Amino acid sequence: MTGENWTVDVTRIPAGGFARSSVVPSRNHVNLDSEDVTLVTKGSGFQQTGAAHEFGHMIGLPDEYLSGSPHIADGDSILHGGQAVEPRHVQDFGDWVRTQLAN
């Protein structure tokens, strides 16, 4: 976790449109578009909500569709092209929550 406060910029785009979304963890900054809350079919054939994928980056998770990822074959993963949140996605966040609750 890089910080508690984030700046989120949302660009309004036409329904069904596409704009590249991104997260810059070192600056606690997120760029989304108005379609990132809409379930869409990705190139992998799976459906995904872009905002959920980008949230994974906000908590420090890497893209899993990149060459060299140990999870590149898991197309249904939220960090690939789908919606599935796997135990590996919440492990570090869960550890952080437990640490915060213990203090």
Widest CA span in the chain: 46
Check residue 60 and give left, alpha or beta (phi > 0: left; psi -120 to 50: alpha). left
Question: What are the tokens at 45?
Answer: 């054939």
> DSSP class of residue 56?
H
Kindly report the average pLDDT of the chain as a whole number: 91
Q: What does the pLDDT read at residue 45?
A: 84
> DSSP class of residue 26?
G
* 103: helix, strand or coil: coil
Question: What are the tokens at 15?
Answer: 């329904």
Give me the percent of the chain exceeding a pLDDT of 70. Answer: 97
**What's the whole-model pTM score?**
0.85
